[in-house]
């Protein structure tokens, strides 16, 4: 299914909340429905480093990264590691891009479970996936190809409405 069709379904059923632009807080969103999808745009940062910048409490030295999405308004959303978010945890190249994450808020404040990752390149929203040129297999994380065990490459393809 195309992303545009899914967006249409989400909008028509009230399932999509643009938390980054709508002014709703994670707490307000959590009170609605557990299966609502939010669209958040920003950059991936190490949440520990963000909390420990000058003026913050403590030091961020010698720690494991806690990946979070930082929105343009400065809000941080901690990302839970799941199959759908694995690429963020494994691929530094992806973490350097401006991203749009489709996600669900969890019980913990400002914690999200990613369901889909898109990138922004030249102002255009792109589907993000990994591709094996040998086997012609798409994957959602940068692990080796499930078929030939060879390398996969990051691909960004503009999200378009396939019905046009």
pLDDT at 126: 97
Domain range spanning residue 96? Answer: 3-125
- Does residue 139 lie within any of the structural domains? no
pLDDT at 33: 53
Segments of the chain scoring below 70 in pLDDT? 1-35, 51-63, 161-164
pTM above 0.75, yes or no: no
pLDDT at 25: 42
- Does residue 155 lie within any of the structural domains? no
pLDDT at 53: 61
Q: Which of 134, 97, 101 is nearest to 117 (CA)?
A: 101
- Does residue 148 lie within any of the structural domains? no
Q: Domain tally for the chain?
A: 1
- Does residue 14 lie within any of the structural domains? yes
pLDDT at 62: 54
pLDDT at 52: 60
Half-sphere exposure of 45 (CA within 13 A, CB side): 19
pLDDT at 127: 96
- Does residue 156 lie within any of the structural domains? no
pLDDT at 5: 38
β-pairing, 98-105 with 153-158?
Answer: unpaired
- Does residue 102 lie within any of the structural domains? yes
- Does residue 134 lie within any of the structural domains? no
| Under 8 Å between Cβ of 10 and 16 | yes
- Does residue 10 lie within any of the structural domains? yes
Q: What phi and psi values does residue 13 have, to the nearest 5 degrees?
A: -100, 0
- What is the C-alpha separation between 109 and 91, in angstroms, rounded? 26
β-pairing, 67-70 with 16-17?
Answer: unpaired
CATH of the domain at 51: 2.40.50.140
């Amino acid at each position: 299914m195309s992303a545009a069709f899914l967006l249409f379904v989400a909008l028509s059923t009230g399932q999509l909340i643009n938390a980054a632009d709508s002014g709703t807080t994670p707490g307000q969103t959590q009170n609605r429905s557990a299966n609502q999808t939010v669209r958040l745009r920003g950059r991936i940062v190490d949440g520990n480093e963000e909390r420990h910048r000058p003026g913050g409490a403590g030091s961020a030295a010698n720690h494991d990264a806690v990946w979070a999405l930082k929105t343009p308004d400065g809000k941080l959303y901690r990302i839970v590691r799941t199959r759908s978010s694995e690429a963020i945890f494994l691929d530094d190249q992806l973490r350097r891009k401006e991203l749009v994450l489709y996600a669900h808020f969890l019980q913990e404040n400002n914690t999200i479970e990613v369901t889909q990752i898109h990138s922004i390149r030249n102002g255009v929203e792109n589907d993000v996936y990994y591709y094996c040129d040998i086997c012609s297999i798409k994957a959602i994380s940068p692990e080796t190809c499930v078929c030939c065990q060879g390398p996969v490459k990051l691909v960004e393809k503009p999200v378009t409405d396939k019905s046009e």
